[in-house]
Amino acid sequence: MMAEKETNLRSSLLLGSKKWAMYTLGLLVLFASLGILLYETTKAEVIVMDNGEELSIRTHADTVEDLLVELDIEATEHDEILPGRSETVEDGMEITYIPAQQVVVTIDDETKSFYTTANTIEEFIHTEDEIVVTEHDQVLPSVETSVKDGLEVTISSAIQVTLNDGGETEKYWTLANTVEELLQEQDIELNEHDHLNVELDEEVTNDMDISITRVEKITDVIKEEIGYATVTRLDDNLPSGKSRVVQNGQKGIVAKHYEVTMENGEEVSRKLIKEETEQESVNRIVAIGKTNLLLSRGDKKLVDEFVMNATAYTAYCDGCSGKTAYAYNGERVDLRVNSDAKVVAVDPNVIPIGSLVWVEGYGYALALDRGGHIKGNRIDVFIPSKDEALRFGRKTVQVKVFR
């Protein structure tokens, strides 16, 4: 009986121990569950925008930087993180992370790498103080191109030049490398005779002065009148000193062709290249009565005698009219008509005008002419032929004056 009680007591104690153990385990599980529940409920719920992808995260991270480490995001100094890395993580916070992209920029042969979070090349250029692009510069690819890692951008800086085209000056911004490329860029053509102050293959530089002289060669035809000559003929039927027009003169016309060189619209030279007679001139013919000079000594007496230097002249010298300076019987003697007349030019202060003179080697003559160089003991004798006058030359002669 005692043994049975003892056995029952042991069974009761063992059962109690198991129940206590189960109870204790249950409490532990409960506390653990409560702890886990409490841990989870104390986490902050945040939204992370990772390079455009939205993530909902519950975290115990203290700062934004801790959260990024927790998410295995290796942020660099160039990446964009909003709010900042040191900001405290709060429930409901929105965090934006944009990784920077490498952009390789070449500006006028100088290359440099940049890191940016801009979406397009235009945004990238605006955010970089080191890069200055004007409206005249060239950006390749275009500024609308999206930025991606490793993107290569080429920027060509425009330069300003001054171009004088035929007298009209204008300034141009250009990306051309040579003068020829600049002219093509501006649709400027050079003609055959135009002049350029620089070579076509010369490199374009900033503030360069380029000048084009526009040269044009044209033909100018000018019609000119041809004067007519007056031909005199002796007419025995006309009284001495009288004349009559037999044929009226008519002017001719000659067309002169000139090659005219124009520079920037102004004439700089002209050259006669051809003459064409369009109408021949017609001579004026005049009939003249012959003048009979009375060279007979008659009853005239010798009044003076000289030794003089003598030369000869003709009726066709430059500036000569062919007529004597003084009249004979009321008319000046036309030596071109009266080629056989004997006339001398004298200094009126030495030999009076109208005197009959005798010149050694020439004969009797009338003093009806004068000359600018006939001064003092000088005398000039009329000889119709130029060759004969040249042969006469200069000589010393004896001169006698009769009155």
Q: What is the tens place of the pLDDT at every residue in 152-195?
A: 999 999 999 999 999 999 999 999 999 999 999 999 999 999 99
Distance CA 161, CA 362 (A): 83
Q: Is the pLDDT of residue 34 over 50?
A: no
pLDDT recorded at residue 294: 66
Cα torsion 131, 134, 135, 140: sign: negative
Residue 107 in contact with residue 131, Cβ under 8 Å? yes
The order of strands in the sheet holding 138-140 is 110-116, 101-107, 151-156, 138-140
Instruction: Compute the mean pLDDT over every residue in the chain, rounded to the nearest whole number.
Output: 86
264-290 confidence digits (pLDDT tens)? 999 999 999 999 999 999 998 878 776
**pLDDT 10s digits, 43-62:** 788 888 777 788 888 888 88
Has this prediction a pTM greater than 0.75? no
Highest mean pLDDT among 5-9, 231-235, 250-254: 250-254
Report whether 386 contacts 317 (CB < 8 A). no
What is the pLDDT at residue 8?
60
